[in-house]
Structure 1
Amino acid sequence: MTVYHFVGIKGSGMSALAQILHDMGYKVQGSDVEKYFFTQKGLEESGINILPFQRENIKPGLVVIAGNAFPDTHEEIDEAFKNDIPVIRYHKFLGEFMQKFTSVAVTGAHGKTSTTGLLSHVISGSKPTSYLIGDGTGHGEKGAEYFVFEACEYRRHFLSYYPDYAIMTNIDFDHPDYFANIEDVFSAFQEMAMHVKKGIFAYGDDEQLQKIQAKVPVLFYGFGEENDFQARNIEKCATGTKFDVLVRNNFYASFEIPTYGDHNVLNALSVIALCHYEEIDTDTTQAFLKSFQGVKRRFTEKQIGSQIVVDDYAHHPTEIKATIDSAKQKYPDREIVVVFQPHTFTRTQTFLTEFAQSLSEADHVFLCEIFGSAREIHGKLTVNDLKDKIEGAQIIREEDTSPLLKLKNSVILFMGAGDIQKYQLAYEKLLENE
């Protein structure tokens, strides 16, 4: 029996794919660095063996699935090549794998992970569904009809895929270490659109997505009247959000979601549009939208003492604003405190003013040192350049999170894509000792 060996198994997409293959009855193992990553929890729960990187891991009988982060010169990949052991890159393997199912790619600058999680939850209410989410969650269902997966635009990785459907949540300038400008990002999405085989569901209030051309129907969803699928009569309250959906200006049904902010209405609307198109039962769609528990690191909250502590992956100005808006809707009577770790020097430099504007929507702002990437040359930029643009902002260190203690009854949002969790853990330890 073939054994799949994942080089870099703790990567978010890699760990999810490993879990899918394991669930489907394949033999799976992998290797990675020894440092702990939150993605390995699912692997450990599945009993998937994680080895430290070493040449000796590569033996005859394996098929090697190589993570995008590792060059051909990596010791394990090199060993496989020397011994004629097949090596397949992650996105190429995934592109071939999905052909067996009705596949749905969820892509966009923001909202991919939440939408992929929501869609896989809702569709699995009607049909057996396998899914791969960018937070490291993967599930393989034997006899699956649908495959729902998160498709990332970074380095144009999503061009390896030819899905039946695509949801495009938005186009925004991000990954400035790779994309030159918004036009460059648009060109990647336009190329992706030509790969889609049955239909595209695009956020119609996005001026970039309005320009998308495809060989298949493009259905638009959003708040504006010209969209095929519209959300109307939105009611926001502290327990979630209710709204009506119109299909080509005719009332279709009312829906309720246990989440907050306009961005979550839009995520739900894209899912409703796809389910409507695939003729999935409306009652099931309504029930499963209402029972969705969320995905990892997207407004993941716990109460400690008088404070609500939230972990969120937001790392772009648009996402930060959306997360702060959600907190204000859910907790209208509490102060909103942000602890933000900028992710990469290029992104921080590119969006310095926009970061300051988004963060300023909170009542108090604490900034951590910039989480740099090994790919970057960062010049003279420091976190103080951001701090100077935000009135009253303070720098916070992992060794001393005590300034947060004074902010009783507040909601503290720990936000970032680096290792912001270590600041949250340090603060939680401090609270325990209080």
Structure 2
Amino acid sequence: MSSVLTEEALSKIKRVHFIGIGGSGMYPLAQIFHTKGYEISGSDNNETETLEAVRKLGIKVFLGQRAENIQGAELIIYTAAIMADNPELIAAKASDAIVCERADILGVITGWYDNALCVCGTHGKTTTSSMLTQIFVDAGEDISCVIGGKLPSIGGSGRAGRSKDMVCEACEYQDHFLKLHPDCAIILNVDADHLEYFKTIENIIKSFHSFADMATKAVIYNGDDANTRKSLEGISGKELISFGWDKANDYSAEIISKKGLVTKFTVFYKGEVLGEAEINVPGDHNVLNALAAMAAARYSGLSFEAAAKGLASFHGAIRRFQLIDKVKGLTIVDDYAHHPKEIEVTLRAAKGLDFKRVWAVFQPFTYSRTEILMDDFARALEIADISVITDIMGSREKNEHGIYTEMLGTKTKNAVWFDTPHEVVDKQTAEQKEKNFDECIDYIIKNAEEGDILITFGCGDVYKLAKKLAKKLREND
């Protein structure tokens, strides 16, 4: 087994296999490799809409991960969510193939472009990457992109173009973004997350500093955020472009009006009015995301008018305040937010809209994050009028510290929770998860009222709950 992937080695490879091909981060890489003519195969444990999209490309998909799936592959790519005892990964490492983690491959890909725009930050990466991609697409640019969520205008979470420009969502998890090759680093904010790895906010700031230092041409950063400014200390030899509410920033904004999901605002560059823009996703935080995308687009040579046009046509990425349905007077929205700050800003945005009550349905993700940020989660969820909490989705972790939903539920005012018995939840089957979701749905149907908005939160599969709720309400209707 080799873990070294050089350009020379890549030029000789014909067959590539993806372990976990249905993941939002893996699918765009498979698209790019597929477009470049490689023979692709992949595997995943759960049937999803993404797997259907993969199959439509003509890619062979194995449902279930077994050692024999990797046969014939010369390059095998896996995600950080794949555990060490995964039989496919074990077989891969014992084979003669080159075996690489997703972040390493993404690093190779970003090096293929002359203008790699890498969007990082604790919050807002997917939305901002999607906004920026939408701007390029609407401007007729043949952009390449790798986004952490699905963008309707490109039919997925990535595409392979022929221009020099690439938009790449850059995740700080386990310092993965330090493997990239950014020409322009875009830093949205720096907050405490992934503390099971970073331990302290100071270590997080250091990593963002390293990422900014790697940028070969420019850094676009949130000048209002103290931690972001701290991460830029000592950075030189490249263009530094700031954005924020403060007029002292290079790019700033002033809100003109808010109506429904539409926010209109004036954009300033170095104190001078550039013009008016609008976005169709709620929340002041999304105005800042739009400013970052605007700055990156203009840095890349697009006009203000082109950037404004793209922002106006952007109606959100999939799982970012995505409208699922309006049924029996209940508005059902799904959101990927899985950090307390993300949940807080989304709930505050929802409270600013004219709904009767705001429901939060939260699926905690990983035991370590739930344990470390439990008090913060409780405070964020209390912004909602009613919170419903599902079982914790352990994903890549084992429940070593005995962390359960009831611990968060008892800390959260106005919350109800549905906890699978402790002796079975740590080895939860698909049937048990379905039952857990059904208990939540039954409670919501009995208690929701006309004029309420319900938002499902989490980076796991809680979106299935939102869709099943909408379906059940329609059937009952």
The aligned runs of 1:6-405 (5 Å cut-off) are 6-33=18-45, 35-51=46-62, 52-60=64-72, 62-70=74-82, 75-77=87-89, 79-80=91-92, 83-101=95-113, 102-126=115-139, 127-135=141-149, 137-211=156-230, 212-213=232-233, 214-215=235-236, 216-301=238-323, 302-329=325-352, 331-396=353-418, 397-400=436-439, 401-405=441-445
Alignment of 1:404-419 (within 5 A): 404-405=444-445, 406-409=447-450, 410-419=452-461
Greater shift in the superposed pair: 171-180 or 346-355: 346-355
Stretch deviating more after TM superposition (384-393 or 180-189)? 384-393
- CA drift at 1:186: 0.9
Deviations 1:3-27 (A, max 9, x none): 2221221222111210122234433
Question: Partner of 1:398: helix, strand, or coil?
Answer: helix
- Larger helix proportion of the pair: 2
Q: Judging changes above 3 Å, is the alpha-carbon distance between structure 1 residues 321 and 162 closer, same or farther for their aligned structure 2 residues?
A: same
Question: Which stretches in structure 2 are left out of the alignment for 5+ residues?
Answer: 1-12, 151-155, 419-435
TM-superposed CA distance for 1:223, in Å, is 0.5
- Indicate if the aligned counterparts of 1:22 and 1:140 stay in contact, CA closer than 8 A: no
* Change in 2 beyond 3 A, CA 1:83/1:174: closer
Instruction: Name the SS for the 1:362 alignment partner.
Output: coil
Secondary structure at the counterpart of residue 225 of structure 1 = coil
What's the % identity of the aligned pairs? 32
Scaled by the length of structure 1, the TM-score of the pair is 0.92
Instruction: Confirm or deny: 8 A CA contact 2:385 2:414 kept in the other structure.
Output: no
1:161-201 deviations in Å (ceiling 9; x for gaps): 12101111111111122120211111111111111111111
Return the TM-score normalized by structure 2. 0.84
Q: 1:368 to 1:188 in 2, by over 3 A?
A: same
SS of structure 2 residue aligned to 1:143: coil
Gaps of 5+ in 1: none
What do residues 350-394 of structure 1 show as CA deviations (whole Å, max 9, x unaligned)? Answer: 222222222122122222222234524453543333333333322
Give the match's secondary structure for 2:221: strand
Distance 1:91 1:190 in 2: 19
Hey, what does 2:424 align to over in structure 1? none
Kindly tell me: are residues 333 and 95 of structure 1, through their superposed partners in 2, closer, same or farther at Cα, counting changes over 3 Å?
closer
Q: Residue 42 of structure 1 aligns to which amino acid in structure 2?
A: A
Letter in 2 for 1:11: G
Cα shift at 1:290: 0.5
Give the Cα separation in 2 of the matches to 1:104 and 1:45.
29
Matched residue count: 432
